Amino acid sequence: MLACTTAASLGVVAVPSAQATPAPEAPKTAPAPTASPAPTAQANEDRPPFYEPPAALPERNGDVIRSEPSDYYLDPLKAIKVTSAHVNRVMYRSTDGQGEPIATTGTVLTPKQAWSGDGERPVVGYAPGTQGLGDSCAPSRRLANGTEYEGLFLKGLLARGYAVALPDYEGLGTPGTHTYVNRAVSGHVVLDAVRAAQRLPEAKVPDGGPVAVTGYSQGGGAAAAAAELAPDYAPDMELRGVAAGAPPADLKKVAAKLDGTLYSPFLGYAVAGLAAGYDVDLKPILNDKGERFVSDAKEYCTEEALFKLPFTKSETLTEDGRPLTDYLEEEPFQSIAEEQRIGERAPRVPTLVTHSTTDDVIPYEVGREMAASWCEKGAPDVTFSPLAAPTHVGGAIASFPRVFLWLEGRFAGEDASSNCDTLD
C-alpha cells in the first residue's frame, strides 16, 4: 500500500555527493552467544540456507546469529562492484510486533578507509524502501545481485565514512510473510540491525558509538517508528538523530491515495503484511481475483509488481464489491491500522522529516501531520522540510542531499534546529 519506488527502480538515479514492550535488555557485559552456522539443507527453493533461522535464538536483541562475507554491486550485470567497503550479510535476533523474539537478516557495510571525523566511526541504520514480499526481494540479496535501487544512496553514506546497517525486515528473506508497514517490528529490526553491526567483529565499529537512522517511504516509516521506540527499546544506544522521508504515518490516508493507481500493487503488500502480523484470515473478504492479486503480490519484487499489477481497483478484489479502504474503518482492520499510526509518541532525539508537496504515493499532509504531532508532544528539535521536487520518486532524489547534510551536523555535534512554530 505504501511504498518507495525510488529513482533507480524507474530508471532514474540520484548521484551521491562526496505494541508490546519487550523485556529489558541484558547488561552489555553479558557474554555474546556463539554464532550459529547456516543449515546445510535448503528448506525452500527460493531461500538460501543462510536465511533459515536456528531452533534457538540468542539472549539479547541485536545479537548476531551468523554472518558471512557478501558482495555489493550497483548494476544487475555485476559490472560495477563496490570494493571500498567490507560487506557482511548477518542474521540477528530482533522482536516482532507482538513482543516475541524473531530471527531476521540484513547487511553490514563498513568503509575500508579510516574514519577521519571526530570521535568514533558512526553507524547509520538505513531502513530500506519497499522491496516486495518475496524472499528474493530481501535487500541483502538484491545488494549482492546489483538490483538494490537504493544502492547509490548507500554508497553516498559510505563515502562519508559511515558504517551502514541495512535490515531486511521481518519475513523478507527469512520464513513467513513480510510484515509490511507494521510499525513496531519495523522499528525494532532497524534498531537491532545497528546493534548487530556494533557486535559483529568483522564490522570493526565501536560498541556503543554514535548512531543515526534514516529511510524513505516504507523506510521513512520504519525510521520514524525507530525514533519513537528507541527511548524504551534501545535506551543504551547513542542515537544522535533520525531522518524520515515521506513516512506512511497514516495508513488510511495512504490507502485512499493509492487505490486504482500505478502503485495499487502495494495494497496487496499491505493487506498481506498486516494480515500476517495479526493472524487475520483474508478468505471471507477477498474474492477469487483478490486472492490471486494478494498471492501474486507476495511473489513480486517492487519493479515486477508495478509492471504486472498496476491500476487495480480494490473494489474488484472483494466478495461484497466494496473497496479495501472501507475495511480499514471496520474491525479487525480499524484497530490494526490505528496501531500503525506514527506520531503518537514523541522521539527524544532531533528529527528531520522530508516530504514532496506533490507526492503521488504518500500524501504530503501525512508527513507534515506526523511532524506537527511530534512537536505538540514535546519532541526536541523537529525539522520539517517540504520538497519542491515532483512526485514520490522526485522527492526521494531531492531528499538525499538534505539528509546527507543533516546527518553530518548530528555527527559533528552541532545543535539541531527546529521549525515547529511553522507547523501550527
The full set of domain ranges for the chain reads 7-14+34-250+339-422
Beta carbons within 8 Å of 348's beta carbon, 6+ residues apart: 230, 231, 379, 380
**Per-residue pLDDT, 312:** 95
Handedness of CA 135, 136, 142, 148 (dihedral sign): negative
* 3-state SS string for 112-167: CCCCCCCCCCCEEEEECCCCECCHHHCHHHHHHHCCCCCHHHHHHHHHCCCEEEEE
Length of the chain: 424
> pLDDT tens for residues 206-222?
999 999 999 999 999 99
Confidence of residue 342 (pLDDT cuts 50, 70, 90): very high
Average pLDDT, the chain: 90
d(CA 221, CA 2): 9
CB count within 10 Å of CB 92 equals 31
Q: Residue 26: its pLDDT value, please?
A: 38
d(CA 201, CA 234): 21
pLDDT at 36: 57
**For residue range 152-193, what is the model confidence (pLDDT) as tens digits?**
999 999 999 999 999 999 999 999 999 999 999 999 999 999
Phi (first) and psi of residue 257, to 5 degrees: -70, -35
Tell me which of 270 and 352 has the higher pLDDT: 352
Measured CA to CA in angstroms, residue 364 lies from 131, 245, 358, 367, 417 at distances of: 22, 11, 7, 6, 21
Question: Grid coordinates representing 42?
Answer: 535448503
Cell triple for residue 365?
499532509
Peptide bond into 332 cis (omega under 30): yes
Q: Is the pLDDT confidence value at 341 over 90?
A: yes
Distance (Å, whole) CA 258 – CA 327? 15
- pLDDT for 39: 54
Mapped onto helix, strand or coil, the DSSP state of residue 415 is coil
Q: What local confidence, expressed as pLDDT, does residue 424 receive? A: 76
Flag the least confident range among 14-28, 61-75, 130-144, 289-303: 14-28
The set of cell numbers assigned to 347 is: 522521539
pTM of the model: 0.90
Answer whether 359's CB lies under 8 Å from 245's CB. Answer: no
Identity of the residue numbered 43: A
pLDDT at 3 exceeding the cut of 50 = no
Which residue has better confidence, 26 or 296? 296
User: How many whole angstroms separate alpha carbon 365 and alpha carbon 266?
Assistant: 20
Nearest to 54 by CA among 98, 107, 101: 101
Residue 60 C-alpha cell reads as 539479547
CA dihedral 306, 308, 309, 311 (to 10 degrees): 80
The CATH number corresponding to 7-14+34-250+339-422 among 3.30.450.20, 1.10.3720.10, 2.120.10.10, 3.40.50.1820 equals 3.40.50.1820
pLDDT of residue 94: 98
Q: Is residue 59 within 8 Å of residue 34, measured between CB atoms?
A: no
> For residue 405, how many other CB atoms are within 10 A of its CB?
11
Q: Element (H or E) spanning 68, and its range? A: strand 64-69
Rounded Cα–Cα distance for residues 265 and 271 (Å): 10
Q: Give me Rg for the CA atoms of the chain.
A: 20
- For 235-276, the pLDDT digits (tens) are 999 999 999 999 999 999 999 999 999 999 988 899 899 999
Is residue 155 within 8 A of residue 16, CB to CB? The reply is: yes
List b or e across 42-58, with b for residues whose CB sees 16 or more CB atoms inside 10 angstroms.
Answer: eeeeebbebbbbeeebb
Instruction: For residue 378, count other CB atoms closer than 10 A to its CB.
Output: 11
> Nearest-CA neighbor of 413 among 120, 183, 142?
120
Q: Which has more confidence, 45 or 270? A: 270
Q: Identify the three-state secondary structure at position 254.
A: helix
Can you give the pLDDT at residue 35? 56
Q: Per-residue pLDDT averaged across 71-87, rounded?
A: 97
Measured CA to CA, the distance from residue 61 to residue 22 in angstroms comes to: 9
